[in-house]
């Protein structure tokens, strides 16, 4: 007589958790944080509050998009904050010629920095952290020289409209970030350049042997990152109505790297998670806002963010080494 089958409950599949956590963990954490705020934070769902959160996170999202591409090639760009400051310093110098020329010149400034960064990495062979660290110092120094180290007010209404006006009730800056995120996502997933970028990050030597123009890809990636940082600088100036080269973009490179890593893009390169990067930026922004709204110190928020970064990096490392 056959013995009756014994039901055994399935245990937690830790291997599956390790595989899914780097990809979906940021969305779960963001959803839980939103639910917490709905339950405990007064007026969280009020449009004014949501609008503030969206506007504040916009520069980080834009810079993080470029950072994600750089990290996808197994690089890093510490100069993005200085590029923001450089773009901010150029705006008041050329705003007298019109809003469009001023913005274009700010973008050109970003292109120059990106070409320098990319050339140092691709042709000179410097480590990305070294090349961009040098530009972090030099870029802000140039910005301070251009602005004479002074805080400059912006009064051009058409330029300020970029940071203050809205379309369908949503600020222009948020639309700009959304469009840029869509474009970067399309480039990564649907273009030859995107595939080459991931190939370079996965194995640079193999990509070179396969005929991928590695140096061209690296330079292009650093140029894109710098241009996006310059755009973020323009948006920041238009939003606050002033150009302060000593403060704009300060430490934003850390926020951008955090968003990218928490969003599931490994520091070892070979993958770029655009939507995850955007979600990571929102998660860190909302985490800080939540703690402030609940009367917790900013230092506490920073410690919590540090723990989240360590968990994200460790999880990605575990996945990479298996």
- Residues 21-63 pLDDT 10s: 667 788 988 999 999 999 888 888 898 999 999 999 999 999 9
- Residues 291 and 33: beta-carbon distance below 8 Å: no
| Among 201-205, 253-257, 302-306, the least confident range | 302-306
CA angle 254, 282, 103 (to 5 degrees): 70
pLDDT of residue 315: 67
Residues 6+ positions from 2 with CB-CB distance below 8 Å: none
Tell me the C-alpha distance between 74 and 269, whole Å: 4
Report if pTM > 0.85.
yes
pLDDT digits (tens, 9 = 90+) for 271-304: 999 999 999 999 999 988 888 877 777 677 777 7
Q: How confident is the model at residue 2 (pLDDT cuts 50, 70, 90)?
A: low
Question: Any alpha helices (H) in 7-98, and if so which ranges?
Answer: 14-40, 47-72, 80-94
Alpha carbon distance, N-terminus to C-terminus of the chain: 44
Percent with pLDDT over 90 in the chain = 65
pLDDT of residue 152: 85
Tokens coding 281: 């930026």
Tell me the C-alpha distance between 152 and 70, whole Å: 32
Q: How confident is the model at residue 322 (pLDDT cuts 50, 70, 90)?
A: very low
- Residues 114 and 226: beta-carbon distance below 8 Å: yes
Q: How confident is the model at residue 318 (pLDDT cuts 50, 70, 90)?
A: very low
Q: What is the mean pLDDT of residues 115-129?
A: 95
pLDDT of residue 101: 94
């Amino acid at each position: 007589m056959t013995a009756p089958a014994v039901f055994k409950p399935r245990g937690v599949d830790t291997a599956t958790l390790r595989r899914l956590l780097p990809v979906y963990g940021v969305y779960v954490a963001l959803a839980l944080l939103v639910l917490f705020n709905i339950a405990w934070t007064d007026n969280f769902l009020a449009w004014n509050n949501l609008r503030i959160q969206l506007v504040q996170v916009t520069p980080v999202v834009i810079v993080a998009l470029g950072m994600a591409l750089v990290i996808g090639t197994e690089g890093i760009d510490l100069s993005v904050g200085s590029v923001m400051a450089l773009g901010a310093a150029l705006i008041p110098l050329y705003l007298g010629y019109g809003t469009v020329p001023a913005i274009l010149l700010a973008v050109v400034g970003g292109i120059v920095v990106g070409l320098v960064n990319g050339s140092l990495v691709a042709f000179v062979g410097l480590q990305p952290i070294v090349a961009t660290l040098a530009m972090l110092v030099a870029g802000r120094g140039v910005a301070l020289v251009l602005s004479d180290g002074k805080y400059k007010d912006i009064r051009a209404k058409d330029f300020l409209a970029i940071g203050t006006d809205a379309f369908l009730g949503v600020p222009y800056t948020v639309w700009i970030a959304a469009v840029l995120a869509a474009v970067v996502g399309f480039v990564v997933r649907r273009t030859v350049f995107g595939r080459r970028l991931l190939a370079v990050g996965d194995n640079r030597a193999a990509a070179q042997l396969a005929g991928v123009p590695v140096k061209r890809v690296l330079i292009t990636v650093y140029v894109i990152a710098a241009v996006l940082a310059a755009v973020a600088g323009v948006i920041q100036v238009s939003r606050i109505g002033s150009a302060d080269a000593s403060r704009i973009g300060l430490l934003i490179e850390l926020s951008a790297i955090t968003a990218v890593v928490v969003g599931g893009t490994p520091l070892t390169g070979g993958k770029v998670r655009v939507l995850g990067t955007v979600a990571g930026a929102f998660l860190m922004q909302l985490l800080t806002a939540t703690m402030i709204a609940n009367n917790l110190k900013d230092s506490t928020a920073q410690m919590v963010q540090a723990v989240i970064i360590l968990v994200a990096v460790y999880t990605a490392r575990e996945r990479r080494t298996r």
